[in-house]
Amino acid sequence: MATTIRGRAYVLGDDIDTDQIIPAEYLSYNPAIPEERRYFGMYALCGVPPHQAGLPNGNVRYVPEGEFAGDYPIIIGGKNFGCGSSREHAPLALAEAGGKVVIAEFYARIFFRNCVNGGYLVPCECATRLVEEIATGDDCEVDVEAGTLTNHTTGKSYELQPLGDVKPIIDAGGVFAYAKQEGMID
């Protein structure tokens, strides 16, 4: 895992659910087939209502029409990010679209664990309501080791909650990589 992630931020609101992150109609693609897996990126966040997409302006697509990835490695969410069904495809879709880290006030726990276990995204939490502090397109940098988010557009910095016990799993690249690394499985 990269300890520093820099790029443009994409801002969402509260209660972004897994059906908005990757609608059920796109779950027919097989993530084990590389040619099909990339379609999860193409349709990432396409279920977010237009008035919420890329808040506060609304209607900013995460992935441009006809593309397989976007230009937003840092996703900023509000409260209850990843609620809804427990589909592992949600963090996979964000990762396939170029997402590296999601920062939210708090997560639905199953989404958080799917990020960690699959090694898809770094799920950070911040007590500050970042959806009111950061705008889509801002140049941001996340230092995972230091636990900070810096918005280079505004010059402001924010403290992130420690990753705690999941950090070694994230560092290893997911739960199976961690288990192999620790000699738990061959």
| 139-143 and 122-125 beta bridge pairing | unpaired
Residue 186 confidence (pLDDT) = 84
Residue 154 confidence (pLDDT) = 97
Read off the tokens for 171. Answer: 């560092």
DSSP type of residue 182: T
DSSP string, 129-163: -GGGT--TT-EEEEETTTTEEEETTTTEEEEPPP-
Residue 86 confidence (pLDDT) = 83
Q: What is the CA radius of gyration of the chain?
A: 15
The SS3 of residue 4 is strand
d(CA 146, CA 76): 18
The SS3 of residue 20 is helix
Amino acid making up residue 125: E
Q: Identify the segments of the chain with pLDDT beneath 50.
A: none
The SS3 of residue 166 is helix
- Domains of the chain, start order: 4-181 (3.20.19.10)
Residue 56 preceded by cis peptide, ω within 30: yes
